[in-house]
Every structure is written in C-alpha cells, then in structure tokens.
Amino acid sequence: MTERLDKLIASQGKLSRSDVKKMVKSSRVTVDGAVVKSADIKVDADKSVISVDGKALNYKKNIYIMLNKPQGVISASNDKTQKTVVDLVPPELYRDGLFPAGRLDGDTVGFVLITDDGDFAHRILSPKNHIMKTYHATLRSPLTEEDISAFKNGIELSDGTLCLEAEVRMLEKTDEPIAEVKICEGKYHQVKRMFAALGNKVLYLKRVRMGGLDLDESLEEGQCREITAEELLLLSEKN
Ligand code: URA
C-alpha cells in the first residue's frame, strides 16, 4: 500500500512530518537510491527502500512492546496527573497511537503489551480467542480443593457476574501462599474479585505471561523492550 512519504517516515516515531519536509528540502531523503524532491510523493514502504541521511529506514507498520509494569503506574495512554504505562516507553520505541492492550490495576505489576495495532490487541484480548493471561497471586490463605473446582466451574463474583472457566494451582504453600491463575477474560479487578468471592484476598498480583509468551524477567520493573516476530507468534498462542 502506498502512503505519503512524510507521513510514512513520521509514523516510525522519530521525526515529525515537518522535520521530514525540511530534510527532503535539503536532499537528505532517498527512495530506492534516488534523492527525493518532494515530501508528498506516494511510496510503498514494503517495496521501496527509504533512506534518511544514507541510513535505511527499518519500516514497521506496527510496533509491539513488552513492559514490566511497576506499581503506581496506570494502564492508559496519557493522563493529566498520573504516570501511564505509555510514559515508560523510551524515545527509541515511542510512536503516536501507542496504547496498552488491556489493563492492569495500578497496584498490579508485570507484563503489559503496548502497541499501536488495534486489531492485534482485540484478538489477544477477546475471550472468544482463548488466549490465557497468567498471573501469580500472593494470597491471604492457601487454596482449597473447593477453590480449584470453583475456578474450573466458573466463579460467580459478588455482583452476580459469571466468570468463564479458569485455571488455578498452588505454587507455594508458605506463610505467603502464591497461586498461579490463568484467565482468558479481563473483567475489572477480575482476579482480585474471583478470590474475594471465595472469601480469600489477593495481597500482591503480577502478570507473568500472555498467551505463550513469558514476561522477560531480565526487564527491571519500569523497563520495556520490543517483542520479536517469533515472540509475537507465542503471544497469540491459545493455551
Ligand atoms: N485482575 C485483577 O484483579 N487486577 C489486575 O490488574 C488484573 C487482573
């Protein structure tokens, strides 16, 4: 698909359209090796090599970023008063239109997918597609066998909302029991409300996996990195 050259270069996040126009005027932009005279020519970025100052643009239609979210940051694109997950995206990965695909509560930590691809986000999040989101939940009390069956049968929240079948298992049976929970929906405060419906309480919550893709534990809280093409396939895995 062809698009205006200035729009196309600016969509990659590092330059504005007026920057591009100025660069074209100074003969700093080439398409397939030929110096471009006008910033509004139409170019197909999948077929042509666009270069700025002799450096080929690594054009990507969309970007997919893994963030290890810290507490105290909200799952939004922008906010007047509070820091958002998109504020944590470093300039080299930033572009307009980024948003978090699904929300984690302010006090929940872990894997947030940030992208500018609305269709992909919808596919990942839709319960119909059965892409599981995996959480580690530190609980006030250990799980019982009845709790495990309740998760499997679909928990009814205190307001009567029914949850789809989910999986839960105990990871650690210490003073601070930790359970692993897998859900394919994203209802408001869902994991906390599921445990509350069973008379338990979530003390700390971390999302550790989306689909078949684990949170990269080498990312410190607050750090991001781009998701590779292979990882994107894992992310879309039903499980
Ligand atoms: N469930 C919750 O209760 N909170 C989250 O942030 C995510 C899932």
pTM for the whole thing? Answer: 0.92
User: Region 15-29: what's the mean pLDDT?
Assistant: 93
Backbone angles phi, psi at 121, to 5 degrees: -60, -40
User: Region 33-56: what's the mean pLDDT?
Assistant: 93
For the CA of 75, the nearest atom of ligand 1: 6
Specify the residue with its C-alpha closest to ligand 1, atom 3: 189
pLDDT digits over 99-158, tens only?
A: 999 999 999 999 999 999 999 999 999 999 999 999 999 999 999 999 999 999 999 999
Q: Which of 189, 203, 207, 209 to mutate to test the pocket of ligand 1 (most atoms within 8 A of CB)?
A: 189
pLDDT for residue 174 is more than 80 = no
* Residue 226 Cα to ligand 1 middle (Å): 23
pLDDT band at 91 (very low <50, low <70, confident <90, very high): very high
Enumerate domains of the chain plus CATH numbers: 3-56 (3.10.290.10), 64-126+215-235 (3.30.70.580), 132-210 (3.30.70.1560)
For the CA of 192, the nearest atom of ligand 1: 3
pLDDT value of residue 153: 97
